[in-house]
Amino acid sequence: MIPFVVRRDNDLVPNPIAHGGWGPTLGGQVIGGLLARAIEHHAADDDLQPARLTVEILRRVASAPLRVTASVIRAGSRMRAIDAAMTQDGELVARASALYLRRGTQPDGEFFSTAVTLPPLPREPVRFDDSVPMFIRTYGNDDGDRFPWQHSGPRYAWLREIRDLVDGEELTPFVRAAMAVDVTASMTNFSTKGLAFINADYTLTLSRLPVGPYIGLAALTHYSDAGVATGSASLFDTLGPIGSGVSTAIANFNFDAARKYDGEDRVKR
């Protein structure tokens, strides 16, 4: 399958499949994935767990050559802080910060968390559709005339990345999670009228790395006023919960849900 981006000398060059649902600009999952990829190169200690990744999209990222760099900001015995920057023509267009924590002994006791039950894993098609950026099954309302998240009730998704982020590179669990969490914005900001909020930034928190190719999301909250929104979702793999996603967004219109979420998702429930 065509990758999201290819290498050209010191640049990364996006393919059209990297476009998001807001026009010919890079989708948030590609931006976050590339920033996470650069960050991960500076966290070689296997005992360090990526616990938080915050991605800030400072301006629309054009479908043009870009560069991503990262550096360690602070390193201690139990943590490592790493920043990354994405530039085009020398101008900063997106950035990220990550916190790695050292794994250790799990404390005793029982902990409270809101119970969430995801739908079963979707049945995979015989062949993945090469015209869509990812394989995703969305769950929500049962009205076949509307997108499943276009209602005022619970909403879920299972997704699987089906193409390389960078040509010839296998996706790591951290990069998979960084790409999947971008869906938090769309999932939590859909209303009965559609999606009218665009992602400004998002944060991924992880208690552990995902196992396997599938990542599930369940919407938890949406709060908005005067065109500013925040939403949160729980993230899962097939073994159980792995972390959370939080999105901040600003009112925007003309989102193309069909481009980002249809394709493989012909049957959405």
5-102+132-261 fold: Porin (2.40.160)
Instruction: Using the Cα atoms of residue 1, residue 133, residue 267 and residue 145 in order, give the sign of their dihedral.
Output: negative
| Burial call 28-47: b when 16+ CB within 10 Å, e when fewer | bbbbbbbbbbbbbebbeeee
Residues near 252 by beta carbon (within 8 Å), at least 6 away in sequence: 22, 196, 197, 198
Neighbours of 160 (CB within 10 A): 19
Cα 128 to Cα 14: distance, rounded to the nearest angstrom: 21
Confidence of residue 264 (pLDDT cuts 50, 70, 90): very low
Cα 88 to Cα 232: distance, rounded to the nearest angstrom: 30
Per-residue confidence (pLDDT) for residue 242, from 0 to 100 = 98
Planar angle of CA 64, 33, 157, nearest 5 degrees? 115
pLDDT: is 267 or 94 the higher one? 94
Taking only the tens place, the pLDDT of each residue in 83-135 is 999 999 999 999 999 999 999 999 999 999 999 999 999 999 888 888 889 99
